Amino acid sequence: MKFKELDLDPRLLSAVDEAGFEETTPIQAQTIPLVMTGDDVIGQAQTGTGKTAAFGLPLLNAVDTQSSDIQALIISPTRELAIQTQEELYRLGKEKHVKVQSVYGGSDIRRQIRALKSHPQIIVGTPGRMLDHINRHTLKLHTVKTVVLDEADEMLDMGFVEDIESILSNVPNKHQTLLFSATMPKPIMKIADKFMTDPKVVKIKSKELTADKIEQYFVKAKEFEKFDLMTRLFDVQAPELALIFGRTKRRVDELTRGLQARGYNAEGIHGDLSQDKRTSVLRKFKAGKLDFLVATDVAARGLDISGVSHVYNYDIPQDPDSYVHRIGRTGRAGHSGVSVTFVTPNEMGYLRTIENLTKKRMEPLAPPTDKAVLKGQLESVKQDIKDTLEHDKHLDRFDDAVKELLSEYSPEDITRIFLSEAIKDAESVPVKIAPERPLPSRKVSQSRSGHGRRGKYNGHRGGGDHRRHRSNSDHREGGRRDDRGGKRREHDNKRNGRSKKSFKIRTNLEK
């Protein structure tokens, strides 16, 4: 279905066209007409399927811009998702002049109070900060006509149910409710029963949730081997833009420092970073100024990041759904993607659980050989030389030095010395990653072994994302906050996800 076939305001269609979209995604095609007719809707959709526009376009379409009342409320589990949703709605609604305001913890509440006085028509925010504004009487919801519960399974995991109930108690009884979730466990359906009236269910087919274009692999390795194996994989695979997932905030910090020490262009995000820092890191990553983003599941949840070529699961998630969320960040918009999951021997049961859920088997990777690593590094150096010759217009300043060197040494010797300086053995920089508490042992009927490889010699890239489990209380991620922004219960549900396809890793020379 094309967007122009929907009965949307021409100004919204113009914004959609400007964004380069013509055809709706499955979740959009099925959801938008239902929302526009006033139905309550339950949408099962993974991040990256276009669900923001699925609820955003009909919300924007219904907004009366002549009114200064708050007409729609969007509740998000994380600050990042709230900001992202606000930005997308702003882009889609700017020609219609719809005012959208986000409110979230970790940011100056006084600034938000001033912004709320400008009479936005749509509010996007996290539950804790919304309640804070409600209690301060700076956010009044008696005019709200539509409520969106975005990433409902995530909010359930983070313990926001009571907050949501408190917020909805301030909304008129007669209103439209839209609920979106990547998974539909029983607790989510109970929320739907309590807050929704005869909801229409839009469920994306399994194949659309499992990212067909992602080639999935696993590397069987001991805990202390994983970091060196992962960086060797970078040199063979040469990822364009990569995410690395770890289980805890401590893990993210250690991985980030380790990658930076080895020369990789990497940054990390997790719940303990300031909002300004997290926003800055994400902007750099989206702008291509970072090669690797290391993150916890919660910090990365809901982020719409395009162009990710590789996802590395440094820590395997405990729940299959987390795996789906992680790898779903690559292989988007018709492009192929690669995911690599590192699995310790006692975690093979978790890998089997993921495969059973996704109905796909991950292919094992053997540890990359020194020859394969060197081949990838040499290809990277050759590409850098080509790029420099094409773009550096001031190389002639070295002409005298070149003549002098060539008079004393052969071109072969000079090239060998250059390569020895350009290609360093990354493992000569020791990196120690503290072991995390292992996941509870899960029996597995059969086992297999896996491998890895690596790429790029300088300006390396690394990125990651990982999830913790509840027993790691000292390093949990995404704590929920009370009305004053203080941490409440930490969020660390783990999920495992789906895997598809197998692929042959190619070095740069083979491309």
The pLDDT value recorded for residue 149 is 94
Q: Positive or negative CA dihedral for 141, 142, 146, 152?
A: positive
Asked if residue 382 belongs to a domain, the reply is no
Are 189 and 216 within one domain? Answer: no
Over residues 422-471, the pLDDT tens digits come to 776 666 788 888 888 777 655 544 433 333 333 333 333 333 333 333 33
Give the total residue count for the chain: 511
Calculate mean pLDDT across residues 136-162. Answer: 91
Is the pLDDT assigned to residue 198 strictly greater than 90? yes
**Higher-confidence residue: 145 or 195?**
145
**Higher-confidence residue: 333 or 114?**
114
Asked if residue 398 belongs to a domain, the reply is no
Are 133 and 191 within one domain? Answer: yes
Is the pLDDT assigned to residue 205 strictly greater than 50? yes
**Higher-confidence residue: 419 or 216?**
216
Is the pLDDT assigned to residue 110 strictly greater than 90? yes
Q: Are the C-beta atoms of residues 330 and 309 closer than 8 Å to each other? A: yes
Identify residue 463 by its one-letter amino acid code.
G
The pLDDT value recorded for residue 470 is 32
Are 188 and 283 within one domain? Answer: no
Are 256 and 199 within one domain? Answer: no
Calculate mean pLDDT across residues 226-236. Answer: 91
Are 76 and 161 within one domain? Answer: yes
Is the pLDDT assigned to residue 409 strictly greater than 70? yes
Window from 139-143, 388-392, 432-436, 474-478 with minimum mean pLDDT: 474-478
Q: Name residues whose C-beta falls within 8 Å of residue 127's C-beta, 6 or more positions apart in sequence.
A: 75, 77, 155, 160, 163, 164, 167, 480
- Label residue 212 by pLDDT band (50, 70, 90): low
Asked if residue 141 belongs to a domain, the reply is yes
Closest-CA residue to 295 (of 280, 311, 306, 309): 311
**Domains of the chain: total:** 2
Calculate mean pLDDT across residues 236-256. Answer: 91
Any idea which residue has 């991985």 for tokens? 255
In 424-492, which ranges are continuous DSSP H helix? none
Percentage of the chain with pLDDT > 70? 80
Calculate mean pLDDT across residues 303-308. Answer: 72
Window from 50-59, 340-349, 370-379, 412-421 with minimum mean pLDDT: 370-379
The pLDDT value recorded for residue 325 is 77
The pLDDT value recorded for residue 447 is 36
**Higher-confidence residue: 159 or 294?**
294
Half-sphere exposure of 141 (CA within 13 A, CB side): 25
- Label residue 41 by pLDDT band (50, 70, 90): very high
- Label residue 472 by pLDDT band (50, 70, 90): very low
Q: Out of 181, 208, 235, pick the residue that ends a domain.
A: 208
Are 186 and 215 within one domain? Answer: no
Are 45 and 192 within one domain? Answer: yes
Asked if residue 95 belongs to a domain, the reply is yes
- Label residue 313 by pLDDT band (50, 70, 90): very high
**Higher-confidence residue: 208 or 140?**
140
CA dist 294 and 296 (Å) reads 7
Percentage of the chain with pLDDT > 90? 38
Calculate mean pLDDT across residues 33-41. Answer: 95
Are 204 and 321 within one domain? Answer: no
Asked if residue 390 belongs to a domain, the reply is no
The pLDDT value recorded for residue 461 is 33
For the entire predicted model, the pTM comes to 0.52
Calculate mean pLDDT across residues 395-423. Answer: 87
Calculate mean pLDDT across residues 260-283. Answer: 86
Is the pLDDT assigned to residue 400 strictly greater than 60? yes
Asked if residue 171 belongs to a domain, the reply is yes
**435-474 residues labelled b (16+ CB within 10 A) or e (exposed):** ebeebeeeebeeeeebbbbbbbbeebbbbbbbbbbeebee
The pLDDT value recorded for residue 442 is 55
Q: Out of 154, 184, 208, pick the residue that ends a domain.
A: 208
Q: How far is CA 510 from the centre of its chain?
A: 29
The pLDDT value recorded for residue 475 is 35
The pLDDT value recorded for residue 507 is 32
Q: Positive or negative CA dihedral for 407, 408, 410, 414?
A: negative
**Higher-confidence residue: 31 or 490?**
31
Asked if residue 377 belongs to a domain, the reply is no
Q: For the chain, what is the mean pLDDT?
A: 80
State which residues form the domain around 485.
210-369+429-510
Asked if residue 355 belongs to a domain, the reply is yes
Q: Are the C-beta atoms of residues 180 and 43 closer than 8 Å to each other? A: yes
Is the pLDDT assigned to residue 511 strictly greater than 80? no
Are 253 and 188 within one domain? Answer: no
Window from 165-169, 178-182, 247-251, 448-452 with minimum mean pLDDT: 448-452
Are 225 and 165 within one domain? Answer: no
Domain with residue 60: its CATH number is 3.40.50.300
The pLDDT value recorded for residue 302 is 55
Are 108 and 151 within one domain? Answer: yes
Are 434 and 497 within one domain? Answer: yes
The pLDDT value recorded for residue 211 is 52
Any idea which residue has 């030095």 for tokens? 401
Nearest-5° Cα angle at 477, 128 to 126: 20
- Give the number of other Cβ atoms within 10 Å of residue 400's Cβ: 9
The pLDDT value recorded for residue 445 is 41
The pLDDT value recorded for residue 333 is 58
Q: Out of 162, 180, 208, pick the residue that ends a domain.
A: 208
